[in-house]
Structure 1
């Protein structure tokens, strides 16, 4: 008998141990939190299983108990009663629900008692609203208040329409009066015809904002008058108050940072003005060779840019919202844009600085850049503008100018003016002294070509069929188009002089040896207009 009893005990103990081990090894099921709502008002959120009941069962049981209690009586007493580590919320003599320690995990409550008292307070509010919903006199008062609020709301809307018509009627007169007062000399700074559409759109935007605000307040007030919709109205009002408090808190919190940013701004402004004065003093001739009246302005701009970039980097952390994701995204976008376009932009800017500090070009000089010729009108950081003799304005990238040969016709002349030159090719059977004399004669006949310094003729090449003669002279300073006219007049005079002395300008080309040798005998070295005294 004893052996059988021991066998049964060991069997039961083994089964209990197996069940316990299985329960420990089995995955634990986490119950989803479920909210208890009564009469459209949130009472409590159940998160744990209590007394074998899951959150769904607890909510279902609590709704049933509270509904039956409210159906039986309107005046119910709500109390809490501790039970071990939990608290039981009592509705009259009935247990409505239990608040356990696991129900407050991740919530704003510090203790189970505090959570139970808050749930009991909300339940008392539900009882009071249920009693109010069953009182016809209170419902009629609420409906009357809602009607009065609706009438005030409609009146405000019509008042806004009336004010809008009056303002739009007076707006043209006011704008014309104030825009006439804003003048620089006799020129108005703002045109009322362009400002009126902008002002009317701004007024329309303000009107819609005010209408939405009035609608929001009216809806929240009306919903708060009735027990069932009161939670919705309270949430609307609380959201507006929270939004206003958040904005006010953000504005107050941003004041110290804005103060620091403004201080950095004024310091940078003072430093910029100080550096401008220092650079103007250093630009005096004889102080620095690279700093003069031509490089002073770009140097001041670069110095100011460096100061303001440094100030922006210092003030950025103090700007409102500098640590938000929006600012971070904007910074990434700006950095991406700069990285994509920095190659060409930085290259053009560097080329502009090279042209400025090497003084390759100056405004007013006549230059030839590649295939383009004209007077420099503007030397910028990224582009250079030249005006041609045909009335065209060309904008050339600075990188192209630094990468090609630039001929400056104004830099080497004596005094103001520019160099004018042309090339002719004459056969070997024409004496070179006669060609030089005719070219100089054509230069003398051309208005605008200076006699001092005198024009010169150079034999630049002795080609197979003819020598090349280049006439170089200095012209008076003038606009680009007169220079083109001057070249045209010079070419016309060259043709006239050569025709007068019977010399053809057409250059010979041979397919075989000529029957007679192409040379000039000594007795024909000085035909007119050449003179023997010119021979060296």
Structure 2
């Protein structure tokens, strides 16, 4: 024993009393202070080689007392921690008063309990701790923690202290349940109170105020949940701190709650300047949108007009300008938003951009087609058009689709990309005053005089109530086909005509059939199979063969 003490202890520590229980802890604790020349080939490397090793904590009844980082003589930091815990248990089992003392040296500090060495703290154990200070300062903190752990060790075996802790925990539990019950009752009362007040003042709760009531209920429920969770945290922390074994958990819970509150309040304080700038940018954007809306509303009402902007394009221009203004405001305010520089925020932004670029290409194409169609002025709301096989009145022109009422009891919604890719026939553009064009065609054989067909079509137009007298209808021979002549009647509707063009066309077709049947003219398209016995020409004696003046064609037809 004397030889070991002389060879292994550093100067200033050779006169320490060493017990059998602390012998191995002493040897392992002093390995780092031995001269490098005295190490054997299989000895542990110097402390600098283990500077980055993980710390192994020494516990006494769930209380962290010290941390070992340096390996010892033929042992690791974990072995030192195990020997230290065993030495502390043996010292406390002796039944002494539990006095803690320490003996300091330049490169190590020994800790004793009632004069029995329990472990050593070396310079290598604290050198890797950033900002930990010198070894004496670290040793002082270890001594305070060890004294607290010994006091808790004695408290755990004191029936009186255990009874007081149990009564305190039960009382705290009863108080917490009472507060929680009051919180739930208060939440129910507050949830009903605003709605009852509104009902008493207005008799019945207006439908416009129901969203306000739901928002208040949601706010009250959120506050109740937050207060309930805070109450549970406070109750659990108090109960854990009443018992010596669980007191370290309660202290960590309190520290965690304070750290969270400090981080939360600090983040709010740091975000206030940036949020102020972002709010100012959004307020300026709001002012710009209001100014733009005021001007474009005047254009829509006809009070102002620009060369490229009229009442039909005012509202689409308003939507487009609002989108541009808010996108520009968002781009300007983005760097000032809280968390905009974090990796999570950037990742979400990249993901959102990728999703928009992959999934919104069709939507963007529809919107661009809608804007192009609106600004090209190929049709307007209220005009009668024919797009492909769809014919009817335009009732709405949106960014993504156009709705058309066909007059047959159906509504057709056409994507703007479909409309933009095919011709649009507008039957209302050349007619003034909300009218629309009526035209129909018949094919009659060459044996029927063309003057008779023109007169019959004009008579059918005269009989139809929806056909306007001015401008007067007219008939054109639009084609001389191989077997028949194609005649086309062109007219315009009157203000009293049905809004649906299909009804006016049906009435016109009915009168064409009646007039041709009354005059014995077949509406048919004969095909040529051979020369007939007599030539299929109009006889000069036919009363319709006389040259009667034909109504002139209408200008622009």
Kept in 1: contact 2:498–2:504 (CA 8 A): no
Give the structure 1 partner of residue 26 of structure 2: none
* Alpha-carbon offset, residue 56 of structure 1: 1.9
Q: 1:105-120 maps to which residues of 2 (within 5 A)?
A: 105-106=128-129, 109-120=132-143
- Deviation sequence 1:483-508 (CA, Å, 0-9, x none): 22211111111111111211111221
Map residues 463-474 of structure 1 onto 2, 5 A cutoff.
463-474=481-492
1:65-106 Cα deviation digits (max 9, x unpaired): 222222234533434443333333343433332223332325
Determine the C-alpha separation between the residues in 2 that align with 1:308 and 1:319. 15
State whether structure 2 residue 159 is matched by structure 1 residue 142.
Answer: no
Q: CA deviation at 1:479?
A: 8.1
Q: CA shift at 1:229, angstroms?
A: 1.2
CA displacement, residues 414-452 of structure 1 (integer Å, 9 cap, x when unaligned): 443110111101111000011011101100100011000
Give the conservation status (yes or no) of the 8 Å contact 1:433–1:525: no
Is 1:124 the counterpart of 2:141? The answer is no
1:416 counterpart residue number: 434
The answer to whether the 8 Å contact 2:271/2:338 transfers is yes
**1:189: which partner in 2?**
208
Offset of 1:288 from its aligned partner? 4.0
Using structure 1 for the length normalisation, give the TM-score.
Answer: 0.85
Aligned mate of 1:266, from 283, 287, 294: 283
Name the Cα RMSD after superposition. 3.3
Match of residue 341 from structure 2: 323
Quote the residue 1:231 is aligned against.
248
Distance 1:169 1:296 in 2: 46
Q: How many residues align?
A: 508
Matching residue within 418, 424, 427 for 2:445:
427
**In 2, distance between residues paired with 1:268 and 1:208?**
36
Aligned positions of 1:66-465 closer than 5 A? 66-73=88-95, 75-104=97-126, 105-106=128-129, 109-163=132-186, 166=189, 173-174=196-197, 176-177=199-200, 188-191=207-210, 207=224, 209-276=226-293, 288-465=306-483
Q: Answer with 38-47 or 472-481: which moved more.
A: 472-481
Q: Residues of 2 paired with 1:451 and 1:407: CA distance?
A: 24
| C-alpha distance in structure 1 between counterparts of 2:119 and 2:350, whole Å | 53
- Confirm or deny: 8 A CA contact 1:414 1:453 kept in the other structure: no
Give, in angstroms, the shift of residue 144 of structure 1.
2.1
The structure 1 residue matched to 2:59, chosen from 12, 37, 56, is: 37
Give CA deviations for 1:274-311 in whole Å, capped at 9, x if unaligned. Answer: 44456678898997421222222222222221111011
The equivalent of 1:9 in structure 2 is none
Pick closer, same or farther for the CA change 1:138–1:158 going to 2, 3 Å: same
2: CA distance, partners of 1:239 / 1:23: 39
Deviation at 1:31, TM superposition (A): 5.8
> 1:143 deviation in Å?
2.2
CA drift at 1:396: 1.0
**Residues 521 and 106 of structure 1, relative CA distance in 2, 3 Å threshold:** farther
* Structure 1 residues 431 and 525: alpha-carbon distance in aligned structure 2, compared to 1, 3 A threshold: farther
Q: Secondary structure at the match of 1:150?
A: helix
Q: CA deviation at 1:261?
A: 0.6
| Distance change (3 Å), C-alpha of 1:171 and 1:412 | closer
TM-score by length of 2: 0.82
Comparing 376-385 and 52-61, the one that deviates more: 52-61
The residue aligned with 2:17 is none
- Counterpart-to-counterpart distance in 2, 1:108 and 1:300: 61
Structure 2 spans left out of the alignment, 5+ residues: 1-36, 553-557
The Cα shift of 1:158 comes to: 3.6
Cα deviation for residue 535 of structure 1 reads 8.5
* Structure 1 CA distance for aligned equivalents of residues 227 and 296 of structure 2: 54
Paired residue for 1:7?
none
Note closer, same or farther for the CA distance 1:268–1:180 as it changes in structure 2 (3 Å cut): farther
State the Cα distance separating 1:401 from its structure 2 match. Answer: 1.0
- What is the aligned partner in structure 2 of residue 533 from structure 1? 549
Where 1:238 maps in the other structure, the secondary structure is helix
Deviation of 1:515 after TM superposition, in Å, equals: 2.4
Matched-pair contact (CA < 8 Å) for 1:431–1:525:
no
Give the secondary-structure state (helix, strand or coil) at the position aligned to 1:424.
Answer: strand
1:248 CA displacement? 1.4
